[in-house]
């Protein structure tokens, strides 16, 4: 009976949706940064797989259909971007400056920490694409001879951290402007940060989606340059 349920194409998709729904309910109830649907869903799914000794491939047999919609969902980010086009035109210098500074500070931080902790070249380039989307980050890591599987994990962790603590950090530093918030989320924590920006406001989400795209493209070149520094 268990094997039939686990091997069903509906199993992975079902527990993913249920886990996220539970996370969303907890977020609405407790209103705490750690009560984050993404974080709760991932922890819950991992616990279920470990507790019932379910193979990841069996889970992913159904969950992959949810992953399939990631690309169309990302494309849909262009809608709020178009709706806020005038804001982009009026503030394009500030937006580009924020994106570039965020991207460079990310690469510089990775370089500094790699030197401090004596990481080798492969480990260093593995971490360089941490703040861009998985699709682009995988390509960058592979091109630079990094460890792609670790790059994926680091990108996901970066996104979760940005999604969970981003609003708290922005409040602590008294950053109130919606454009500044959008640039911060998009350039530091990619799609997961953009999802959070969408929750905060439409303008924040639009700027974050732009920052996400531009950061991803520019990081391809910047990572190649920074790769020569270690």
Each residue's pLDDT, cut to its tens digit, for the chain (230 residues) gives 667 777 777 888 889 999 999 988 988 888 777 777 878 888 899 999 899 888 888 888 888 888 778 777 767 767 777 777 787 888 889 889 999 998 899 999 999 999 999 999 999 999 999 988 887 888 889 899 999 889 988 998 898 888 888 888 999 999 999 999 999 998 988 888 888 888 888 888 888 888 888 888 888 889 999 999 98
Under 8 Å between Cβ of 204 and 84: no
Under 8 Å between Cβ of 123 and 153: no
d(CA 69, CA 81): 19
d(CA 40, CA 20): 7
pLDDT score at 181: 92
Return the structure tokens found at 206.
């639009």
Contacts of 159 (CB under 8 A, 6+ apart): 189, 190, 191, 192, 193
Under 8 Å between Cβ of 159 and 193: yes
pLDDT score at 1: 60
pLDDT score at 75: 73
d(CA 18, CA 62): 13
pLDDT score at 2: 64
pLDDT score at 119: 92
d(CA 41, CA 61): 18
d(CA 25, CA 189): 24
d(CA 208, CA 187): 7
d(CA 135, CA 202): 25
d(CA 159, CA 153): 10
Q: Report the candidate in 137, 166, 146 with the shortest Cα–Cα distance to residue 36.
A: 166
SS3 of 227, please?
helix
The owner of tokens 């949706």 is 17
CA distances from 11 to 16, 17, 64, 204 (A): 9, 10, 11, 35
């Amino acid at each position: 009976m268990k094997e039939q349920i686990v091997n069903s194409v509906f199993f992975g998709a079902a527990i993913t949706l249920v886990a996220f729904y539970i996370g969303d309910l907890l977020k609405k109830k407790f209103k705490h940064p750690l009560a984050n649907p993404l974080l709760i869903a991932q922890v819950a799914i991992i616990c279920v797989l470990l507790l019932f000794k379910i193979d990841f491939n069996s889970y992913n047999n159904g969950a992959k259909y949810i992953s399939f919609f990631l690309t169309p969902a990302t494309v849909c980010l262009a809608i709020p971007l178009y709706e806020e086009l005038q804001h982009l035109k009026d503030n394009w210098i500030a937006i580009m400056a924020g994106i570039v500074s965020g991207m460079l500070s990310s690469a510089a931080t990775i370089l500094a920490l790699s030197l401090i902790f004596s990481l080798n070249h492969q480990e260093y380039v593995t971490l360089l694409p941490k703040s861009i989307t998985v699709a682009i980050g995988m390509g960058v890591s592979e091109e630079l001879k990094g460890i792609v599987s670790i790059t994926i994990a680091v990108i996901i962790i970066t996104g979760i951290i940005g999604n969970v603590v981003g609003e708290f950090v922005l409040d602590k530093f008294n950053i109130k402007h919606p454009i500044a918030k959008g640039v911060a989320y998009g350039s530091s924590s990619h799609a997961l940060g953009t999802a959070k920006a969408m929750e905060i406001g439409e303008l924040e989400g639009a700027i974050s989606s732009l920052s996400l795209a531009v950061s991803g493209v520019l990081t391809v070149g910047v990572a190649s340059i920074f790769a020569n520094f270690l």
